[in-house]
A and B are shown apart, each in its own frame.
Chain A
Amino acid sequence: MNAIALSCTDIRVDFDGFTAVDGVDLTLRRGEVHFLIGPNGAGKTTLVDAVTGLVKYTGSVVKDGRELRGKKVHHIARAGVGRTFQTAAVFENLTVAQNLDIAAGAARSPWTLLRRRTSLPAAVADTMERIGLAERAGAAAGTLAHGQKQWLEIGMLLVGDADVLLLDEPIAGMGQAERETTGRLLHDIAAERAVAVVEHDMDFMRANASRVTVLHGGAVLAAGSVDEVSADPKVQEVYLGAAEREEAVDAAAA
Chain B
Amino acid sequence: MDILVGQLFTGLSTGSILLLAALGLSLTFGQMGVVNMAHGEFIMAGCYTAYVTQQVVGGAGVSLLIALPIGFAVGGAMGLILEVLLIRRLYHRPLDTLLVTFGVGLILQQVARDVFGAPAVNVTVPQFLRGGVEILGTTVPKTRLFIMALAVVAVAALALVLRFTPAGRRIRAVVGNRDLAETAGISSRAVDAGTFFIGSGLAGVAGVALTLIGSTSPTTGQSYLVDAFLVVVAGGLGRIKGAVVAAVALGALQSVFETYSTASLAKVGVFVVIVVFLQLRPQGLFTLRTRSLA
Contacts and interface: CB of A to CB of B under 8 A. Distances in A.
A45 B290 CA distance: 13
A54 B292 CA distance: 11
Interface of A: 15-16, 45-46, 49, 54, 85, 252-253
* Top-9 shortest CB links A-B: A253-B183, A15-B289, A16-B289, A252-B183, A85-B293, A46-B291, A45-B291, A49-B291, A54-B293
Nearest to A249: B183
Contacts of A16: 289
Nearest to B293: A85
B238 to A, nearest CB: 14
Contacts of A252: 183
A49 B293 CA distance: 10
Interface string B252-294: 0000000000000000000000000000000000000101010
Contacts of B289: 15-16
Contacts of B291: 45-46, 49
Interface in B164-202: 183
Nearest to A85: B293
Contacts of B293: 54, 85
Contacts of B183: 252-253
A61 B208 CA distance: 58
A46 B289 CA distance: 13
9 contacts: A15-B289, A16-B289, A45-B291, A46-B291, A49-B291, A54-B293, A85-B293, A252-B183, A253-B183
A169 to B, nearest CB: 14
A54 B289 CA distance: 14
B178 to A, nearest CB: 13
B183 to A, nearest CB: 5
Nearest to B180: A253
A45 B289 CA distance: 16
Nearest to A15: B289
Nearest to B179: A253
A90 to B, nearest CB: 14
A15 B287 CA distance: 12
Given A16-B289, A45-B291, 7 more contacts: A15-B289, A46-B291, A49-B291, A54-B293, A85-B293, A252-B183, A253-B183
A253 B183 CA distance: 6
Contacts of A45: 291
A21 B254 CA distance: 43
Nearest to B183: A253
A55 B171 CA distance: 28
Nearest to B182: A253
A120 B289 CA distance: 42
B202 to A, nearest CB: 28
A55 to B, nearest CB: 8
A52 to B, nearest CB: 11
Nearest to A86: B293
